[in-house]
Amino acid sequence: MGTDTDTRQRILNAAVQVFARKGKAGARMQEIADLAKANKAMIYYYYNSKDNLYEKVLDLVLEEMFSEMNRVALTKDSPEEKVRQVIDAYVDFYIHRNDSFQLLLREIVSGGEILGRAVLNHKDTFLQNPDILPARIIQEGIDTGAFRPLDSHHTLMSLMGMTIVYALGHPIANGIFGLEDAELPSFVEERRLHIADLLLNGLLVKQNATF
């Protein structure tokens, strides 16, 4: 049982890397098998086809994202603190889960049809309701009077944009700012604080709050 689970996980981990580098069309099952140190026939045994494997990999990547959002949403922390944690979760995902991030980017650029279906599949599990959880956190802040009555979905899109932009363009940004490799970790930490400062100053009713 343990061996079967381990083999499946190795296949999924390898598939994330190969699909991230080459996309669904360019990925080869033999390359995934070699990277996973598994027999190609086992991939077909578990997942039947490359299309099914690709959809399963997208499910895995979304699970990584949504499980953390779900954890944050269900804490007893204040809406302000939850927003900070959501920012941290997005930044961590975009910066430290590079293969998963690249896979999502490739899927979005290709039209995002499969990703859209995968997101819908998670509504009854990690999303738990029709709203994406970070938007629900923002709405919670509005309902309790902590946040100004801004549209929660547009605010979520702004949050996502602020967190994703460095991950999308960091080679350009690093060149513009003249950042050395040793400076990148501290720059990312400063980025987290800047996003929280900018977003919460727009959200909080008390605009004189100190961050």
Residues 62-92: tens digit of each pLDDT: 888 777 777 787 788 999 999 999 899 888 8
Reported as a single tens digit per residue, the pLDDT across 14-33 is: 999 999 999 999 999 999 99
Which H or E element spans position 59? helix 50-73
Output the six-digit token pair for 5. Answer: 């689970």
Over residues 93-105, the mean pLDDT reads: 87
Residue 18 near residue 31, CB atoms below 8 Å: yes
Q: How distant, in Å, are the alpha carbons of 65, 99, 161, 191 from that of 170?
A: 21, 15, 14, 12
Rounded-to-integer distance, Cα 107 and Cα 125, Å: 22
Q: Where are the domains of the chain?
A: 1-48, 56-203
> Which residues have C-beta within 8 Å of that of residue 49, sequence separation ≥ 6?
none
Q: 56-203 has which CATH code?
A: 1.10.357.10
Give the model's pLDDT for residue 2: 46
Confidence of residue 207 (pLDDT cuts 50, 70, 90): low
Give the model's pLDDT for residue 132: 60
Q: Please name the CATH architecture into which domain 1-48 falls.
A: Orthogonal Bundle (1.10)
